[in-house]
Amino acid sequence: STLGAWLICAVVAVDSTKVQMINSLVDTLIEDAKTTIIVTGHDVIPFHNVSGSLGNCMLYVYFEGTSGWVKNLSNVERAGNVSYSVNATNLSIDLKLGLSNIQFGFDHYSARLFFLRPSGNITVYLSSVIINSGITFSFTNDTCQLTVDKMGIEELRGLQITTKGWGRWDAVFSKVVTWIASRMRRKITNVLESHLARALMKGISDADRCEMIANMVLFLNKPH
């Protein structure tokens, strides 16, 4: 019926408005987090060494990287609309985060492949990193808290490497770097989770931002 169609359109319009409002809130908090990351000097983050072997008895490579780092954490944006659930005190959000021009590498690496003993530094460039994340904002007793429910790298795009020392074995080294990237996923995720969450937490500790979240929770809980 015409009335039924109108009601469906009205509900869709209200839901769309809610999503856009939450998108705007998340964008504001992300901008706060980016500023915090830069001001506190956390745009470049060190991480632990990586070592291990790759291959079999026919082709065996050992790699060790030390003084590792991840760079450009402040290049973070929301990627797509959020989805959400809400109750009296909590707003839970699922969203994708996109980081552009991310770099990671080692100030020194050494490797062994047959007679080769290449060493030096290595930088890996990623045009974008897509992160699947879930966060919950809690509002109780005039204070706000943030909990990271999940965070994981969904996709690494545009991988490029700069290094020296492999010569005609560059094809082998490309496989080594792919292996390194797979080993690094968890490390990079840990770095992103800890530092992004810390930066977001600092943002919502601000009274104005906390009030924004509280008002959003109240609005979403109202019947429309």
Q: pLDDT per residue over 91-101, tens digit each?
A: 999 999 999 99
Amino acid code (one letter) for 198: R
Q: What is the mean pLDDT of the chain?
A: 80
Query: Is the distance from CB of 26 to CB of 92 less than 8 angstroms?
Result: no
Q: Which of helix, strand or coil describes residue 41?
A: coil
Per-residue pLDDT of 197-216, as tens digits, reads: 788 878 777 778 888 888 88
- Mean pLDDT computed over 113-124: 80
Q: Which residues of 41-54 are buried (b: 16+ CB within 10 A; e: fewer)?
A: ebbebebeebeeeb
Alpha-carbon gap, residue 65 to 51, rounded angstroms:
6
Domains of the chain, start order: 17-221 (3.15.10.50)
- According to DSSP, the residues that pair with 60 across neighbouring strands are 55
Alpha-carbon gap, residue 110 to 120, rounded angstroms:
7
Of the ranges 20-34, 37-51, 53-67, 119-133, the best mean pLDDT one: 20-34
**Residue 167 has what pLDDT?**
65
**Predicted confidence (pLDDT) at residue 108 exceeds the cutoff of 60:** yes
Give the pTM.
Answer: 0.78
Confidence of residue 72 (pLDDT cuts 50, 70, 90): very high
Helices (H), the chain: 2-39, 170-204, 207-221
What is the rounded radius of gyration, in angstroms, for the C-alpha atoms of the chain?
A: 22
Alpha-carbon gap, residue 121 to 67, rounded angstroms:
10
Locate 48 and state its tokens.
């632990």
Per-residue pLDDT of 120-161, as tens digits, reads: 888 888 898 898 989 998 887 778 888 888 888 888 888 777
Alpha-carbon gap, residue 219 to 224, rounded angstroms:
9
**Residue 27 has what pLDDT?**
93
Locate 171 and state its tokens.
């094809």
Q: Which of helix, strand or coil describes residue 142?
A: coil
